[in-house]
Amino acid sequence: MTAKTFDAIIIGAGQAGPPLAGRLSAAGMSVALIERKLVGGTCVNTGCMPTKTMVASAYAAHLARRAADYGVTLGGPVGVDYARIKARKDKVTIDARTGLEDWIAGMDKCTLYRGHARFESADTVRVGEELLTAGKIFINTGGRASVPDLPGIHDIDYMTNSSMMDLEVLPRHLVVVGGSYISLEFAQMFRRFGSDVTVIEKSPRLTGREDEDVSAAILSILENEGIAVHVGAEDIAFARQGDDIVVTFAAGQPPSVGSHVLLALGRVPNTDDLGLDKAGIATDRRGFITVDDQLRTSVPGIWAMGDCNGKGAFTHTSYNDYEIVAANLLDNDPRKVSDRIEAYALYIDPPLGRCGMTEAAVKKSGRRALVGQRPMSRVGRAVEKGETQGFMKILVDADSREILGCSVLGPGGDEAVHCVLDLMYAKAPVDTLARAVHIHPNVSELLPTIAQELKPLV
């Protein structure tokens, strides 16, 4: 079979693939973009967009139940129509995916192939019966939920973040196995929809990559809403009990009996069925494609972007991967992954916005450091909104005055943290923040105040 020749092949239409196809085709290159399932990848179809749409519905239900706190009277108890919640979520997702498909269809010199791509060699890819060849190949295949071989796991019907999006009924009792970002968003969301919710986490605390004070505050937020949390669960196992699922997790502890189980135990890259060995592409022990600081793989002419390269697990890092590749190839701009400052959010309510180093990481580095902190109960805007859970914290190098990191757990924390993140990218000292005049009343207006009240980190 004669292979069709392109200037570039992009495997995967997630967050990095389509914009790169747009840049390359606009530069006059012929591009084959391959997607075996849904255009838009995790973010559009099973991740950010659908889940945050449901988070918004959950927030509306929660706020309605608190109406009396604001002097608002409702005509009766607050109800939840889960079918309408799902329909709203589905519309947001479909609209976004359709918009992406229309954009791709309008790209000159770009051909979209539907199917499973496998390498035949370092410059040839098979999609079904089609053979495609190109001098440049970009891998953007994303990741999926990890499903460890826990005792009894094959005897039950479990859900992952993806299959949760197809759930048609509201769980009576949702047992969430895992105590990190995805799991906690679902836990709070479904508790606010009316489900009983239990979270079971193997580690000694929730969100283990965060500082202990952040983890403790998150635990308090969840428990205040009636979510049962069990940490230190070393012996997780599953069994059927009629229509229910029994989850045991620690000797001497009564099991949790739920109607539904969500597994949220991390992610694995979609690299195991690409035929990477035929192209000679190196991976690490976890299956992530090995890349350098400009996202080049071990094979010249092949790049890897997004979740499959292990350099980031977020939509924004995947999109930044596209920017790095495009800048180097097309703009003579030597951007690199190591320029990136770690930043992300946890979308419980109130949300956590995080950037830079944690307190634990700063202490481990051995440098002299300063810290400033303020509880949301002392932030006027949070008090006015009746949302005073959480706190904000800034970490600073004591010698250079460089901002090292920031955590904002509170109303608007996912937005307010960018005040600090932008200064970190500008390499501005904390004194720049301290002298800034922010709008009142606002959560972020207290960041300059905190910057004026720094104390030695001990």
Kindly state the average pLDDT of the residues 333-351.
Answer: 98
Judge contact between 350 and 390, C-beta under 8 A: yes
Residue spans of the domains in the chain: they are: 4-144+268-339, 153-265, 343-456
pLDDT of res. 41 = 94
- Output the CA torsion 110→90→309→146 (10° steps): -140
Count the residues in the chain. 458
Residue 441: cis peptide before it, omega within 30 degrees of 0: yes
Q: What is the pLDDT of residue 370?
A: 98
pLDDT tens for 46-61 read: 999 999 999 999 999 9
pTM equals 0.95
What integer pLDDT is reported at residue 252 of this predicted model? 86
According to CATH, the superfamily of the domain at 153-265 is FAD/NAD(P)-binding domain (3.50.50.60)
pLDDT for residue 107 is more than 90? yes
pLDDT digits (tens, 9 = 90+) for 391-447: 999 999 999 999 999 999 999 999 999 999 999 999 999 999 999 999 999 999 999
Residues 190-248 pLDDT 10s: 999 999 999 999 999 999 999 999 999 999 999 999 999 999 998 999 999 999 999 99
Q: Which two tokens stand for residue 100?
A: 């992406």
Domain 343-456 sits in which CATH superfamily?
FAD/NAD-linked reductase, C-terminal dimerisation domain (3.30.390.30)
Residue pLDDT, tens place only, 139-163: 999 999 999 999 999 999 999 999 9
Give the residue among 298, 270, 284, 276 at the shortest CA–CA distance from 121.
276
Q: What is the DSSP letter of 375?
A: E
Is residue 27 pLDDT above 80, yes or no?
yes
Is 3.50.50.60 the CATH classification of the domain at 4-144+268-339? yes
Give catalytic residue positions: 440
Is the CB of residue 439 less than 8 Å from the CB of residue 426? no
Q: Are the C-beta atoms of 187 and 197 separated by less than 8 Å?
A: yes
Q: Which of 407, 412, 258 is nearest to 349 (CA)?
A: 412
Q: How far apart are CA 387 and CA 342, in angstroms?
A: 27
H or E, element range at 178: none
- Note whether 4-144+268-339 and 343-456 share their fold: no
Helix axes 181-193 and 48-65, enclosed angle (nearest 10):
40
Query: How do residues 246-268 score in pLDDT, each as one tens digit?
Result: 999 998 899 999 999 999 999 99
Q: Which two tokens stand for residue 141?
A: 């295949």
The pairing of beta strand 4-11 with beta strand 31-35: parallel
Confidence at residue 251, expressed as pLDDT on a 0 to 100 scale: 85
Write down the pLDDT at residue 1: 72
Task: Return mean pLDDT, the chain.
Answer: 97
Alpha helices in 309-372 (DSSP H): 315-330, 359-365
- Torsion region of 41: left, alpha or beta (phi above 0 gives left; psi -120 to 50 gives alpha): left
